[in-house]
């Protein structure tokens, strides 16, 4: 109603027609537009990366509220060492860096295409994040610096859960970032937790995003967590 008299250019009309066709094919709106919003920032997205979800915003907010991110030394902010694993679009490390600019933030992903998108998003949001092509399942191959915070939103949807998923997710978002085998639903959690025992500082924190069915398999965390259970 506000723009009822506005005339569209030929390019805009062509984009709308293309967008309608793509939406009818169940392609996510964010991919059609090429971007989405996360923590009041704009992020470019494409089929190489997952679309950032509100639940991940909750994770970042939780980290900002609870993790040891407000350090000072001699009247100035001391460097914070943060590692994000499976970074995808880069939304988690970029949002943390934006809110804690004195932090040193590193982010890993196994997908070179995802890292290219993430690097572009860091430039778009004017932050510096050290993006690295890494396979966390073989983390022993890489040097591990001490960390105050380790975060991951790893693949956690089991293959058998595909039948319950929306078509726009199943057919368009990257399966590499979504799915894990039915017989090893906690694969990435076990490996990342084991890695964290070697690199987290004494007062460090480990944060995960996880789906509800898998969460029921976890016991409350303790310092004596048995990673083999």
226 assigned to some structural domain: no
Per-residue confidence (pLDDT) for residue 169, from 0 to 100: 72
Per-residue confidence (pLDDT) for residue 220, from 0 to 100: 47
The model's confidence at residue 70, banded by pLDDT at 50, 70 and 90, is: low
Asked whether residue 219 carries a pLDDT value surpassing 50, the answer given is: no
Average pLDDT of every residue of the chain: 86
Residues spanned by the domain of 42: 12-215
Asked whether residue 191 carries a pLDDT value surpassing 70, the answer given is: yes
221 assigned to some structural domain: no
Per-residue confidence (pLDDT) for residue 184, from 0 to 100: 77
* Centroid of chain to Cα 59: 10
- The closest of 98, 119, 123, 124 to 107, measured between CA atoms, is 119
109 assigned to some structural domain: yes
Per-residue confidence (pLDDT) for residue 74, from 0 to 100: 54
Calculate mean pLDDT across residues 153-166. Answer: 76
Per-residue confidence (pLDDT) for residue 155, from 0 to 100: 83
pTM equals 0.86
Per-residue confidence (pLDDT) for residue 213, from 0 to 100: 66
128 assigned to some structural domain: yes
- Read off the pLDDT of residues 102-141 as tens digits, 9 standing for 90 and up: 999 999 999 999 999 999 999 999 999 999 999 999 999 9
228 assigned to some structural domain: no
Q: Which of 11-25, 56-70, 171-185, 202-216 has the lowest mean pLDDT?
A: 171-185
Per-residue confidence (pLDDT) for residue 224, from 0 to 100: 46
144 assigned to some structural domain: yes
Is the CB of residue 187 less than 8 Å from the CB of residue 210? no
How many domains does the structure of the chain reveal?
1
Asked whether residue 215 carries a pLDDT value surpassing 90, the answer given is: no
- Read off the pLDDT of residues 27-51 as tens digits, 9 standing for 90 and up: 999 999 999 999 999 999 999 999 9
- Read off the pLDDT of residues 4-14 as tens digits, 9 standing for 90 and up: 889 999 999 99
What is the domain-level CATH number for residue 190?
A: 3.40.50.150
Per-residue confidence (pLDDT) for residue 175, from 0 to 100: 72
């Amino acid at each position: 109603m506000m723009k009822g008299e506005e005339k569209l250019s030929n390019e805009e009309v062509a984009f709308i027609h293309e967008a309608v066709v793509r939406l009818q094919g169940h392609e996510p709106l964010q991919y059609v537009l090429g971007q989405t919003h996360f923590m009041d920032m704009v992020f470019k997205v494409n089929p190489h990366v997952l679309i950032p979800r509100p639940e991940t915003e909750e994770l970042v907010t939780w980290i900002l509220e609870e993790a040891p991110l407000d350090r000072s030394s001699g009247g100035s902010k001391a460097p914070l060492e943060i590692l994000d694993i499976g970074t995808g679009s880069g939304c988690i490390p970029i949002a943390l860096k934006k809110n804690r600019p004195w932090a040193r933030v590193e982010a890993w992903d196994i997908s070179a295409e995802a890292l290219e998108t993430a690097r572009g998003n860091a430039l778009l949001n004017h932050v510096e994040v050290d993006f690295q092509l890494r396979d966390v399942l073989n983390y022993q191959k890489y040097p591990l610096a001490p960390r105050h915070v380790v975060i991951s939103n790893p693949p956690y949807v089991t293959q058998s859960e595909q039948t319950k998923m929306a078509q726009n997710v199943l057919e368009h978002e990257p399966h590499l970032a979504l799915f894990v085998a039915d017989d090893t639903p906690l694969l990435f959690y076990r490996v990342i937790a084991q890695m964290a025992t070697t690199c987290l500082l004494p007062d460090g924190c480990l944060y995960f995003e996880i789906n509800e069915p898998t969460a029921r398999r976890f016991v409350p965390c303790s310092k004596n967590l048995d990673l083999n259970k």
